[in-house]
Structure 1
């Protein structure tokens, strides 16, 4: 039940944004065994004045940087997370063509009882 928030600079065409969604969904299916049709993702675009990054950690990022923040159940292993980082970066490189240096991923873990996916119920508690 991942929830993804994706941030990027404004101006990319719709096909580029849809390719990001498709690549990340495939990476979640491949690396995290996410069920079919478990797609809960948003993209937020920012103008240049509201999108800042640097070269910290020795990574030469560009204006094509994509921030990906994923909130998931706190049940994933370190190996699954590493596999997701690799697979997402690989697939985003293939489509829409984002350089590995421009893929920035952060995973936030949450206990299952902290989720309600509709109807005001705690479906996983």
Structure 2
């Protein structure tokens, strides 16, 4: 039940943004065993004045940088997370064509009882 929040600079066409959604969903299905149709993602676009990044950690980023925050159950292994990072970079490189240097991913883990996916219920508690 991942929840994705994607941030990028404004101005990309619909097809570009949809390719991001598709690539991220595929990467999660392949590495985290996310169920079919488990797609909860948003993209937020930012004007250049509201989008800042640096070259920390020796990575030469560009204005094509995409920030991806994935909130998931706290049940995934380190190996699954590493595989997810690799697969996201690969698939975003293929479509829509984002350089791996411009793929910034952060996983936030939440306990099962911290989720309500509708109807005011704690479905996983």
Q: Cα offset for 1:29?
A: 0.2
Q: Give the SS at the match of 2:86.
A: helix
CA distance in 2, matches of 1:34, 1:88: 14
Deviation at residue 99 of structure 1 after TM alignment: 0.1
Q: CA deviation at 1:116?
A: 0.2
Question: Across the two proteins, how many residue pairs are aligned to each other?
Answer: 125
User: What are the superposed Cα offsets for residues 2-23 of structure 1, whole Å, 9 maximum, x if unpaired?
Assistant: 0000000000000000000000
1:118 Cα offset (Å):
0.2
4+ aligned runs moved over 2 Å, structure 1: none
| Structure 2: segments with no counterpart, 5+ residues | none
Residue 43 (str. 1) matches residue 35 (str. 2): no
Aligned residue runs from structure 1 range 72-83, under 5 A:
72-83=72-83
The answer for the alignment partner of 1:65 in structure 2 is 65
Structure 1: 5+ residue stretches without partners: none
Distance 1:67 1:116 in 2: 25
Pairwise CA RMSD: 0.2
The alignment's TM-score, normalised by the length of structure 1, stands at 1.00
| Cα offsets for 1:23-79 (capped at 9, x unmatched) | 000000001000000000000000000000000000000000000000000000000
